[in-house]
Amino acid sequence: MRAGFLRRDITAAFAAAMSALGIGRASAQDASATKVTGNGTSLVGTWKVVGATSRDANGKSLPQPYGPKGMGVVTLNADGRMMAVLCDGRTELPEGTRRDYASYCGNYTFDGTTLVTKVDASSGGRITIGSDQVRKVRFEGGHLVLTPPPAEINGVMQYRDIFWKRLSTEPA
């Protein structure tokens, strides 16, 4: 009987020490943020944009979002915080072409198929502070593919996919 009490005392002392060191159970935010996709891949880390596609409602290809040399990085940490920056990476644009640029950050949740970021800072434009940025998530050919909801851009309803390559399992 005494051994049972000793075991409980040691377990309680160990739990208290872990808690004091900040190694206790993950919070609800941590658990939500670190969920993995259906194929078991975590989103936590740093990703580089490697391509993008856009099509209209009939499936016809449209010019690439962020141009043929798109640049971008997205980083997601295990605490449920993320940031993204994307731009057209060409040194010069054709006359009359507006440079695509977007950046935002916020707290995110991920349920295994849908990434939702509550934007708390933004470069402006279509991504506004207080909005929820929703992205469907899938993996294709070793790349993370983020798909935003369809949006009207320049008078055309566009359906976009942004392709990302993992640079690190650590956030930037």
Does 13 have pLDDT greater than 50?
no
Give the DSSP per-residue string, 65-108.
TT-TTEEEEEEE-TTSEEEEEEEE--SS--TTPPPPEEEEEEEE
Mean residue pLDDT across the chain: 82
CA distance 62 to 116: 26
Q: Which of 155, 168, 135, 169 is nearest to 52 (CA)?
A: 135
Q: Are residues 4 and 75 in the same domain?
A: no
Predicted pLDDT of residue 35: 52
Instruction: Quick: pLDDT tens for 47-98.
Output: 999 999 999 999 999 999 999 999 999 999 999 999 999 999 999 999 998 8
Predicted pLDDT of residue 140: 92
Predicted pLDDT of residue 15: 38
Q: Are residues 43 and 65 in the same domain?
A: yes
Provide the domain count of the chain: 2
Q: What is the domain range of residue 4?
A: 1-26
Q: Are residues 119 and 150 in the same domain?
A: yes
Global confidence as pTM: 0.76
Instruction: Quick: pLDDT tens for 136-154.
Output: 999 998 899 999 999 998 8
Q: What is the DSSP letter of 123?
A: -
Predicted pLDDT of residue 33: 45
CA distance 53 to 161: 5
Q: Are residues 8 and 75 in the same domain?
A: no
Q: Residue 2 corresponds to which amino acid?
A: R
Cβ contacts of residue 89 below 8 Å, gap of 6+?
Answer: 66, 67, 69, 70, 71
